[in-house]
């Protein structure tokens, strides 16, 4: 990595003339600061191995906010924690699961987040496959769900692990499939019909519990026993939902397909809070020397799922943002605009922290130069997707010119979804999420092996340099970038069951 940095210093002119006004003066100094005596891996080690997983609403999440703020201040930045209101807390408890028939064996299972347990009582019953994607199909299956554990979807399609790597977009699509559950193709497309379908999905776990279902089983969605965890505090379920390995889920489905009814038993203890709590975004900045009221934002989400220690999703991105701040400060350079570094909370539950921040700072949206986010694992940055702003292709080629020799030369048309830059785009703010090497991200993210062992040091050092350089260049552009179209933004509200179902609340 240091050889690459030296090469960049040797071949980089003092200033690259660019039709977009990009001034690359100082890029070499920032690259050197990012690659010499990097602290990204030591910070990542402490975050993952000492603080641990950072589930939104947990005590560990608050410890990570406090610790990252301390690190920013130690590097010479000013900052603080910005609170936002969040749904109820949820604490994962022990699960004991067992296949009873056609032969006995233990089954590894984990609760889908923000779902109820069994109160620690073992609940045994048959496994049944049901289609409950509409009120009509639910009514037709009421007798079958009583006293049963439910399979509500076909087994996931798992890629050959020896085949082409799954992209970040593939991983996001798999997460959405797991989050949504079974759906019927919509017939009536009126707003009223869409609202009825949405409300039915909110009510479904309550209705199934009312009908006497014991719980739901969800496909882990990965190979080799890995799990794909998700869930949301905005959609608390009173019905136990256990994620089991894809291999187990597929086994249960095959038995049913061939006329054999498996029997399953599980004991689950989870703890749900009873009222909303505050969560926090860690915010720090390097104040601009000429236009301090105008801001470039570097961001990543600090929260994680809790089966592993949240390294590749997204301890790596968070620590790269922290390291980018250190590198700019260590270079001794002063940006003309303010560079603000934000580690968002509650991204995994629906971009809640970044949505809250964007809404709270809507009045300054026209003074935000750009938002740059990193959230696709431990892999090095390869370039940038233009996020529909194809007019900025030359801008990004000029921004990336100083780091092209580090492996980040690519600019492409296309959109990136599923992470915090999206929260700012409705306010007209240019927002981007860097492209990265996969490095097995689809295997590790949301799973029990999302741990420090899978972090790639050289890639994270490179990403720190790329983020720092591009942020500094954007801060020094002669003008603010043109705004994008603005949209009406509504805050996400917790899903509430229909009247009469409250008695089945998991709380």
pLDDT of residue 18: 54
- For the chain, the average pLDDT equals 91
Domains within the chain, CATH numbers bracketed: 2-87+276-475 (3.40.630.10), 90-273 (3.50.30.30)
Specify the length of the chain in residues: 507
pLDDT of residue 178: 43
Q: Is a pLDDT exceeding 50 seen at residue 180?
A: no
- Full-model pTM: 0.91
Neighbours of 40 (CB within 10 A): 24
**500 vs 181, which has greater pLDDT?**
500
pLDDT of residue 212: 96
Q: Is a pLDDT exceeding 80 seen at residue 467?
A: yes
Phi, psi of 341 (to 5 degrees): -110, 120
pLDDT of residue 190: 86
pLDDT of residue 302: 98
pLDDT of residue 494: 77
Neighbours of 27 (CB within 10 A): 29
Question: What order do you get walking across the sheet with 149-151 strand by strand?
Answer: 105-107, 95-101, 263-268, 123-129, 149-151, 215-219, 241-244, 109-111
**Radius of gyration for the alpha carbons in the chain, expressed in angstroms and rounded:** 24
pLDDT band at 161 (very low <50, low <70, confident <90, very high): low
pLDDT of residue 14: 36
Q: Is a pLDDT exceeding 70 seen at residue 169?
A: no
pLDDT band at 401 (very low <50, low <70, confident <90, very high): very high
Q: How does pLDDT run across 313-351, given as a tens digit for each residue?
A: 999 999 999 999 999 999 999 999 999 999 999 999 999
What is the Cα–Cα distance from 208 to 230, expressed in whole angstroms?
Answer: 20
Bridge partners (DSSP) of residue 337 are: 291
Q: How does pLDDT run across 358-388, given as a tens digit for each residue?
A: 999 999 999 999 999 999 999 999 999 999 9
Q: Is a pLDDT exceeding 90 seen at residue 284?
A: yes
Question: Coil, helix or strand for 140?
Answer: helix
pLDDT of residue 6: 41
Mean pLDDT of 449-475: 98
């Amino acid at each position: 990595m240091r050889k690459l940095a030296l090469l960049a210093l040797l071949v980089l002119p003092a200033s690259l003339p660019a039709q977009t006004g990009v001034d690359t003066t100082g890029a070499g100094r920032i690259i050197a600061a990012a690659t010499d005596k990097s602290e990204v891996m030591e910070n990542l080690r402490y975050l993952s191995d000492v603080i641990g997983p950072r589930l939104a609403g947990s005590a560990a999440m608050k410890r990570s906010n406090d610790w990252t703020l301390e690190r920013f201040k130690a590097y010479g930045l000013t900052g603080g924690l910005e609170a936002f209101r969040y749904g109820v807390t949820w604490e994962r408890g022990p699960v004991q699961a067992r296949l009873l028939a056609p032969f006995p064996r233990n089954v590894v299972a984990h609760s889908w987040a923000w779902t109820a347990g069994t109160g620690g009582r073992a609940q045994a019953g048959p496994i049944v496959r049901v289609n409950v994607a509409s009120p009509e199909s639910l009514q037709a299956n009421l007798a079958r769900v009583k006293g049963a554990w439910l399979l509500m979807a076909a087994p996931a399609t798992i890629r050959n692990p020896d085949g082409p790597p799954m992209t970040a977009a593939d991983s996001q699509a798999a997460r959405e499939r797991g989050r949504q559950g079974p759906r019927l193709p919509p017939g009536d497309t009126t707003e009223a019909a869409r609202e009825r379908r949405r409300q039915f999905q909110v009510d479904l776990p309550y209705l199934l519990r009312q009908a006497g279902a014991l719980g739901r089983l969800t496909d882990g969605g990965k190979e080799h026993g890995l799990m794909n965890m998700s869930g949301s505090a905005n959609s608390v379920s009173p019905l136990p939902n256990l994620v089991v390995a894809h291999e187990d889920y597929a086994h249960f489905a095959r038995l049913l397909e061939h006329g054999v009814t498996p029997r399953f038993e599980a004991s689950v203890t989870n703890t749900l809070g009873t009222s909303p709590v505050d969560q926090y975004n860690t915010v720090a900045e390097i104040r601009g020397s000429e236009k301090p009221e105008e801001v470039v934002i570097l961001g990543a989400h600090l929260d994680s799922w809790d089966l592993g220690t949240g390294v590749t999703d997204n301890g790596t991105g968070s620590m790269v943002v922290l390291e980018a701040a250190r590198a700019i400060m260590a270079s001794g350079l002063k940006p003309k605009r303010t560079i603000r570094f934000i580690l968002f909370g509650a991204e995994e539950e629906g971009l809640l922290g970044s949505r809250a921040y964007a809404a709270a700072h809507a009045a300054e949206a026209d003074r935000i130069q750009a938002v740059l986010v990193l959230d696709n694992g431990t892999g090095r940055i390869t370039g940038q997707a233009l996020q529909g702003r194809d007019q900025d292709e030359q801008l990004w080629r000029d921004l990336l010119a100083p780091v092209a020799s580090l492996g980040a030369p690519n600019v492409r048309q296309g959109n990136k979804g599923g992470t915090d830059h999206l929260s700012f785009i409705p306010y007209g703010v240019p927002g981007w999420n860097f492209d990265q090497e996969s490095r097995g991200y689809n295997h590790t993210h949301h799973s029990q092996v999302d741990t420090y062992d899978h972090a790639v040091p050289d890639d994270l050092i490179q990403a720190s340099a790329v983020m720092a350089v591009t942020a500094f260049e954007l801060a020094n552009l002669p003008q603010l970038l043109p705004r994008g179209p603005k949209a009406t933004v509504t805050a996400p509200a917790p899903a509430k069951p229909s009247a009469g179902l409250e008695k089945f609340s998991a709380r």
